[in-house]
Amino acid sequence: MKKLYDLTHLIDPENAVRKFSVKMVGANEVNPDVIRLENQWYIMHEISMVNHLGTHIETPYHLFKDGKDLGSIGPEHYCGPGVLINLKDVPAKSAITKEAVVRAAEKAGGIKKGDIALFNLGYAGLYGTDTYADSPYFSNEAIRWIVDQGAKMMGVDAMGVEIPDSEDHVNHAALFEHDVLLLENLTNLDSVPVSRFMVYAFPLFIKGMDSFPLRVIVEAEV
């Protein structure tokens, strides 16, 4: 039997971590000929937001001017076989070494070419708190090893994969120069009972956009 697992943080407009404001408008503001029947209000919303919000995906265009954006990436890149790699034993604020990733990946059956590699750091429950930023971070060697295995997407239950206090973006570059997409702020990884599954992570199809919130779903045999 297959079961779906939602790895997405709910975006609450009243408690969004980054800019996210919503204004309700009547649909008549767009279409003055709207007719409302009894018990209907037929509304729309205007949204102003930072696109790197909640559980979101990042593309090479986030870092490289000539990189692929959400509108130039095919749908096959947004879904596929996934592997869950447990790194919850890595201490807070410490580097995740290549050796640690290799060991953890081997326990999960390895990272195969075309995989979507999801890394459980154990920080999803701290989302929205000050200590969320204390998660361990990936060394550049670890990131490059993940890329070398052939992963097409990487995901973490943390705010990012960059080295703290570094503005060189070396980890983003290591991913994006090989068109490896990045999922940030995942949740519910502890609920997934197996190490291999299917992942579906489809953002909106928008030209000229480097990132956008999305819903990430795992389909696993139970």
pLDDT in tens, 27-43: 888 788 888 889 989 89
What CA–CA distance (Å, rounded) separates 220 from 222? 6
**By mean pLDDT, which of 11-15, 134-138, 204-208 is the weakest?**
11-15
Count of residues for the chain?
222
DSSP 44-104: EEEEEE-SS-SSEEE-GGGT-TTS--TTSS-GGGGEEEEEEEE-TTSPTT-EE-HHHHHHH
pLDDT of residue 167: 86
pTM: 0.95
Amino acid at 133: A
Question: Which ranges of the chain would DSSP assign to H, the alpha helix?
Answer: 98-107, 140-148, 170-176
**Sheet containing 79-86: order of strands:** 2-6, 215-221, 196-202, 79-86, 116-120, 153-156, 181-184, 56-58, 211-213
| Adjacent-strand bridge partners of 2 | 221
Cα distances (angstroms) measured from residue 218 to each of 54, 152, 156, 198, 211: 17, 16, 14, 6, 20
What CA–CA distance (Å, rounded) separates 117 from 83? 5
pLDDT in tens, 70-119: 999 999 999 999 999 999 999 999 999 999 999 999 999 999 999 999 99
Domains and CATH numbers, the chain: 56-221 (3.50.30.50)
pLDDT in tens, 129-177: 999 999 999 999 999 999 999 999 999 999 999 999 888 999 999 999 9
CA dihedral for 143, 149, 152, 157, sign (positive or negative): negative
What CA–CA distance (Å, rounded) separates 127 from 134? 11
